[in-house]
Amino acid sequence: MKQEKTDNLQPGGVSAPRFDAIDRKISAALVKDAGRSFASLSEEIGLSAAALHERVKRLRANGVIRRTQAALDGAKIGKPLLAYIHVTTAGWGITPGLMKIAQLPEVEEVQTVTGDISVIMKVRVSHSLALQGLLARLYKLKEVRATSSHVVLSTHQERPVQAEITEDLGSEVAVGIIPEV
């Protein structure tokens, strides 16, 4: 009986889409500037524009490139206050009430997390009273037990998911050696 190769399987037995070094290079370039022309991008990557276009189509079809969007400046659109809200709920995880609040345009991200809280919300609002109003809406939900808000004073780095991988990150931890940065 022939043994099937399984190192490319995700949970549930589904094959992970192919993502090679060229795909990684294309993805990294698009993260830096998704508005570039295929002509300039193909020159940088070293592929014909047609081959590049086919790869980008495949990356979109496979869900690697989920969307193309503009990165807005919160302060310039009237939302200068960025905060993270840690939410403790009665049960574990996300609830329908939290997901309803997550639909507000001020809510940028919602994650369920490990630890002594249930959910982290990244929100961007116009002023502190708007943050208070958002917290008041959270506390109207019967499943919310507590919140802790963390207002960002300054942002030193903000970027989308990066295509590159630092290959040796896990090796030092495995042997107990943490290198200098």
The string of pLDDT tens digits covering residues 31-41 is 998 898 999 99
Cα dist from 131 to 128, 134, 137, 149, 168, whole Å: 5, 5, 10, 9, 40
| pLDDT at 69 exceeding the cut of 90 | no
pLDDT for res 12: 55
pLDDT for res 152: 98
Within a domain: residue 100? yes
- Assess contact for 30 and 65: CB atoms under 8 A: yes
| pLDDT at 59 exceeding the cut of 60 | yes
Q: Residue 53 and residue 122: Cα distance in Å, rounded?
A: 34
Pair (82, 136) in one structural domain: yes
Pair (102, 144) in one structural domain: yes
pLDDT for res 103: 96
Band of pLDDT at residue 176, cut at 50, 70 and 90: low
**CATH number of the domain where residue 136 is located:** 3.30.70.920
pLDDT for res 173: 61
Pair (56, 79) in one structural domain: no
Within a domain: residue 167? no
Return the SS3 of 61: helix
Within a domain: residue 93? yes
DSSP class per residue in 67-79: -------TGGGT-
Band of pLDDT at residue 83, cut at 50, 70 and 90: very high
Q: Where are the alpha helices (DSSP H) in 36-167?
A: 38-45, 49-61, 96-102, 128-139
Residue of higher predicted confidence among 1 and 47 = 47
Pair (85, 114) in one structural domain: yes
Cα 181 to chain centroid distance, Å, stands at 24
Q: Residue 124 and residue 151: Cα distance in Å, rounded?
A: 10
| pLDDT at 7 exceeding the cut of 60 | no
C-alpha closest to that of 86 among 28, 27, 150, 22: 150
Within a domain: residue 86? yes
Neighbour-count burial of 180, counting CB atoms closer than 10 A to its CB (0-12 exposed, 13-18 middle, 19+ buried): exposed
Length of the chain, in residues = 181
If one counts the domains in the chain, the total is 2
Residue range(s) defining the domain that contains residue 102: 75-151
Q: What's the whole-model pTM score?
A: 0.76
**CATH number of the domain where residue 52 is located:** 1.10.10.10
